[in-house]
Amino acid sequence: MRDHRKLRAFQLADKLALEIYKCTQGFPREEVFGLASQIRRAAVSVPSNIVEGSAKSSQADYERFLEIAYGSVCEVEYQLSLAQRLGYLGEQISKDVTDLASETARVLNGLIRSLKNGS
């Protein structure tokens, strides 16, 4: 089995999940079960799928879970954009977290491409 903790994609995804939890604490109360909950679930899905995929024995399963993680980080990027446009995030917080989400997506996409090219 693979050690997910050594993957840069996992390290970034883990940091992203923590930052999403921090920045969504300030969302309006009416969003607790709305956008805040949705973005948190998507953010936690990213490192969770990397971990689960790393535990799979087949390369195809590993790649599939990484692709699911990539889809989730893309979802987070959109949700951050929406939250910022709704005024739920400050300008700097939005930029910092959005940059982290984008970097996570780039690194994860690079990992997926390298695995597919190596297969």
Task: Indicate whether 9 pLDDT > 70.
Answer: yes
| pLDDT, tens digit, 9 for 90 and up, residues 57-116 | 999 999 999 999 999 999 999 999 999 999 999 888 889 999 999 999 999 999 999 999
Helix (H, G, I), strand (E, B), or coil: what is residue 102? helix
Q: What is the pLDDT of residue 119?
A: 59
Contact 41, 60 (CB under 8 A): no
Q: Which residues, 6+ apart, have CB-to-CB distance to 33 below 8 Å?
A: none
Q: What is the pLDDT of residue 69?
A: 98
CATH number at residue 21: 1.20.1440.60
Question: How many domains does the structure of the chain reveal?
Answer: 1
Segments forming the whole domain that contains residue 66: 4-118
pTM reported for the whole predicted model: 0.94
| pLDDT, tens digit, 9 for 90 and up, residues 53-63 | 999 999 999 99
Residue 63 vs residues 34, 49, 70, 73, 91: alpha-carbon distances, Å:
30, 10, 10, 15, 35
